[in-house]
């Protein structure tokens, strides 16, 4: 039996605009696109974009507050964040820095995308089991 896969769908008011931004900002690759819903992936990590349609969820733009926080673990968080900021993300709220943790140094920072979602981007150190 195969292992489950966990992903997120980000609520956005305009999927085509968001799709273009995520491609430019974080190097997302489009898997499929139905207009108001799209599948993307970043280095094999799949995520989705969807336009809420009075079906129990809403975009941060309409709520006035973020509705999701995306966690990214990669080899070069500085470059990942810089690329997103270069094309319009707000990187002022969580500057990248080294955090001291029980397992050692964890480099992490973040940005808020133009659609209101918070992204925290760090090295892969938290992905290992720690006693």
Give the pLDDT band (50/70/90) at residue 33.
very high
Average pLDDT score, the chain? 94
Distance CA 37, CA 15 (A): 7
Contact 74, 51 (CB under 8 A): no
Helix%, strand%, coil% for the chain, nearest 5:
20, 35, 45
Q: Which helix (H) or strand (E) covers residue 110, if one does?
A: strand 104-112
Q: How far apart are the first and last CA of the chain?
A: 28
pLDDT in tens, 49-94: 999 998 899 999 999 999 889 999 999 999 999 999 999 999 998 8
Q: What is the pLDDT of residue 131?
A: 80
Q: What is the pLDDT of residue 4?
A: 84
Q: What is the pLDDT of residue 43?
A: 94
Q: Which residues are paired to 122 by β-bridges? A: 73, 108
- Residue 122 is encoded by which pair of tokens? 């760090």
In percent, how much of the chain has pLDDT > 70?
100
Mean pLDDT for 6-28 is 97
Domains and CATH numbers, the chain: 9-53+66-127 (3.10.180.10)
> Cα 49 from chain centroid?
11
Distance CA 66, CA 58 (A): 10
Q: What is the pTM of this model?
A: 0.90
């Amino acid at each position: 039996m195969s292992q489950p896969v966990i992903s997120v769908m980000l609520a956005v008011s305009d999927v085509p605009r968001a799709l273009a931004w995520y491609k430019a900002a974080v190097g997302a690759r489009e898997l499929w696109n139905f207009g108001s819903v799209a599948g993307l992936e970043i280095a094999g990590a799949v995520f989705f974009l969807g336009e809420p349609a009075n079906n129990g969820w809403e975009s941060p733009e309409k709520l006035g507050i973020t509705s999701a926080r995306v966690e990214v673990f990669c080899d070069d968080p500085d470059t990942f964040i810089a690329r997103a900021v270069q094309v319009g993300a707000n990187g002022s709220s969580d500057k990248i820095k080294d955090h001291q943790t029980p397992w050692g140094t964890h480099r992490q920072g973040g940005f808020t995308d133009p659609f209101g979602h918070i992204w925290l981007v760090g090295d892969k150190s938290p992905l290992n089991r720690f006693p």
